[in-house]
Chain A
Amino acid sequence: ETGVTQTPRHLVMGMTNKKSLKCEQHLGHNAMYWYKQSAKKPLELMFVYSLEERVENNSVPSRFSPECPNSSHLFLHLHTLQPEDSALYLCASSQAAGTTEAFFGQGTRLTVV
Chain B
Amino acid sequence: QKEVEQDPGPLSVPEGAIVSLNCTYSNSAFQYFMWYRQYSRKGPELLMYTYSSGNKEDGRFTAQVDKSSKYISLFIRDSQPSDSATYLCAMSERDFNKFYFGSGTKLNVKP
Q: Contacts of B102 on A, CB cut-off 8 Å?
A: 42
**Chain B interface extent, by class:** 20 to 34
Return chain A residues, CB-CB under 8 Å to B42: 106-107
Q: Which residue of A lies closest to B39 (CB)?
A: A106
Interface residue B2 (Cβ < 8 Å from any Cβ of A): yes
With a cutoff of 8 Å between Cβ atoms, the chain B residues found around residue A4 in the complex are 43
Task: Report the bound CA distance from A45 to B98 in whole Å.
Answer: 8
Nearest CB of A to B44, in Å: 5
Which B residues touch A104, using CB under 8 A?
36, 43-45
Q: A90-B44, A100-B32, A101-B49 known; A42 and B99 CB under 8 Å? A: no
- B92 lies within 8 A of chain A by Cβ: yes
Q: Are B49 and A41 touching (Cβ within 8 A)?
A: no
* A99-113 to B contact mask, C-beta < 8 Å, 1/0: 011111111010000
What's the count of A-B pairs with C-beta under 8 Å? Answer: 65
Q: List A residues 45-76 near B (Cβ within 8 Å).
A: 45, 48, 50, 55-56
Measured CB to CB, the closest approach of chain A to B26, in angstroms, equals 13
B58 within 8 A of A: no
Q: Pull 6 A–B residue pairs with CB atoms less than 8 Å apart, ordered by A.
A: A33-B97, A42-B102, A50-B97, A56-B98, A100-B92, A103-B46
- Closest residue of chain B to A107 (Cβ to Cβ) is B43
B103 contacts A by Cβ under 8 Å: yes
